[in-house]
Amino acid sequence: MTRVAFPLYGHDDAQQKFMKALSGGRLHHAWIFEGSSGIGKARFALRLAAMLLGARPAGDDPAAAPEDDPVIQKVLASGHPDLKHVQRGLNDKGNLKQDISVEQIRELNHFFALKPALGGWRIGILDSLDEMNANGRNALLKTLEEPPARAILFLISHATTPVLATIRSRCQTLRLHTLSDEDTLQALKDQEVETPDQVAALVKGRPGRAEELTGPKVLAAAHAAQSLLKAFPKPNDATLATAIQAAAEDETSFAVFADEIMSWVGDKAQETPRWADIWFELQRTVAAQRNLHMTPIQAASKLVTGLQSGASRD
């Protein structure tokens, strides 16, 4: 059986919109692929990039190229001369840097200033807009304002920070949604994840986060958040302390804890519009945790306080 290099899970509508623009000769020079982390936005960008660079489809889907395709082999090995995938680099200690640097964006601009090495497209993938600083965003505008011919830029947005209007206005946006239960389970099985049914309940339509969301600390944070929410509106002091402590273990634990809280508040907002305001208040805390380097324990405490404040208004 032929294995597809970048299988598509759940984003058929988004791909159809892109293909319609391509076939109609209206392909924009810059696209924002926006949606929650772990839903396959980078995979989506890579499969479209491989298709534009000449990968041959394995079947009826024009973007479903087999792993043994020569173009796919170059893309998988990060060795295609006309594709540049920009992500956060490593620091001297081997850890991921906080941001994509302005130097990386300048290298991307230089990449686009060159002619395609193989005579086709020149494609850049910026992964992600959320991880850029102000200098990087300003440098990116150079390419967006003066796009070269036969060049296309895919911008990944996890929607954790607002996209600048000056960037968004120069791009086409495709909104990618969390996966259905069926697609999530299939993606996890294809990843050969152990106990995929249990993991599917935790990742909530984001199979790309399976590895980071299944450690013992992360599971403890998820369970603590669930216990806290089950006890609302009057959790006892022990439940509150356990929740905050579990969320404060590390960045990933806080992220999972926050996801559980935000998902719960989001559901409440569907029933009671007043909770939408609380959701936005809590979302600002989640964004501040990353952008302002707030410690997990500070952010978790603020989330719980905001949650209590919202519950007291009922």
Whole-model pTM above 0.85?
Answer: no
Q: What is the Cα–Cα distance from 267 to 157, expressed in whole angstroms?
A: 23
CATH top class, domain 12-175: alpha beta
- Could you list the pLDDT tens digit for every one of the 314 residues in the chain? 678 999 999 999 999 999 999 999 989 999 999 998 899 999 999 999 999 999 999 889 999 999 999 999 999 999 999 999 999 988 888 777 889 999 999 999 999 999 999 989 999 999 999 899 889 999 999 889 988 899 999 999 988 788 999 999 999 999 999 999 999 999 999 999 888 998 898 888 999 988 877 788 888 998 899 999 999 888 899 999 999 999 999 888 998 899 889 888 888 888 888 888 888 888 888 888 877 778 889 999 999 998 888 776 65
